[in-house]
Amino acid sequence: MWYRMSKRQILALRKHNLNADLHIHALEDPNTGQEGDVRSQYTHLLSVCGSAILKGLDVIGIVSHTSFQPGLICKQIIQEKRYDLTCLAGVEVSTAEGTNMIVFDAQTVPQNGDGFENVCQRAHDEGGIVLAIQPNKRNMQRMNGLVGQPTAPDFIEIFNDITKGGYSNAFIDIGAAPDFQLMMNSASKNASDLDRSVMMTKIPREFLVGRGIMVEDEGVDYVPPYLQGIEGDTPVGGVQWPIAQ
């Protein structure tokens, strides 16, 4: 989105649509479901970030079945390396209605077996966002009736690549309400999966800003984190941009 042209010049470019994959798995034991240790998780997520950048992703969702910790580690990596990448820390749960949901950036870990309306309400109360994974026809009808309310998800995944789930019947038969952001994700389990997958979704910037995922980066007072500390304060065009030291 923003690019340094030389030591004394910085060119600011705004993408109006950003590439996202909100279903990338953390390192977990395939038998027990337990998360990998911090060191292994860090290495796993560092590779995922590299693949995401090479693929042209702007926003990624790191998903665990246990805690938000892997996503928080990924956020730390992005900050340390000053990557031009936004990460959401997610936990996937199965709901009482049978639709899996991913809760991102909430304060408390959602519980398996809870109703999806409760999952959404609690997440939104805590400043989080929610993705519903290929809801069935019945659940999609209920979600359509909840549009605009905190009991509805923000994103509807209609396809993921690695698990080959296919388009959900709900999307084909009745369609999701236009207020929902539809997602085609990779469901990658590692960087190699992400390299092979062709799945990503273009999301309008205003949608991400409205959900608090992206910062509205207009105005001379905003400096993206990965440009902070760079010497020089004159971008192409001659507008003065304060570069944090």
Q: How many whole angstroms separate alpha carbon 234 and alpha carbon 199?
A: 38
Q: Which of 144, 104, 142 is nearest to 124 (CA)?
A: 104
Question: CB neighbours (10 Å) of residue 49?
Answer: 23
| pLDDT score of 236 more than 50 | no
Give CA angle at 146 (142, 149), nearest 5°: 155
Q: Checking DSSP bridges between strand 155-160 and strand 129-133, what pairing results, if any?
A: parallel
Percent of the chain with pLDDT over 70: 78
User: How would DSSP label each residue in 149-202?
Assistant: STTS-SEEEEEETTTT--S-HHHHHT---TTSEEEEE--BSSHHHHHH----EE
Q: How confident is the model at residue 233 (pLDDT cuts 50, 70, 90)?
A: very low
Domains and CATH numbers, the chain: 17-214 (3.20.20.140), 221-245 (no CATH)
Least confident of 39-48, 161-170, 173-182, 188-197: 161-170
Q: How many whole angstroms separate alpha carbon 215 and alpha carbon 49?
A: 20
Q: How many whole angstroms separate alpha carbon 45 and alpha carbon 28?
A: 12
Q: How many whole angstroms separate alpha carbon 128 and alpha carbon 139?
A: 21
| pLDDT score of 187 more than 60 | yes
Kindly tell me the sign of the dihedral angle through the C-alpha atoms of 33, 35, 36, 37.
negative
The reported pLDDT for the residue numbered 124 is 97
The whole-number average pLDDT for the span 43-48 is 97
What is the per-residue pLDDT across 29-38, written as a single tens digit (0 to 9) for each?
877 777 878 9
Q: How confident is the model at residue 159 (pLDDT cuts 50, 70, 90)?
A: confident
The reported pLDDT for the residue numbered 132 is 96
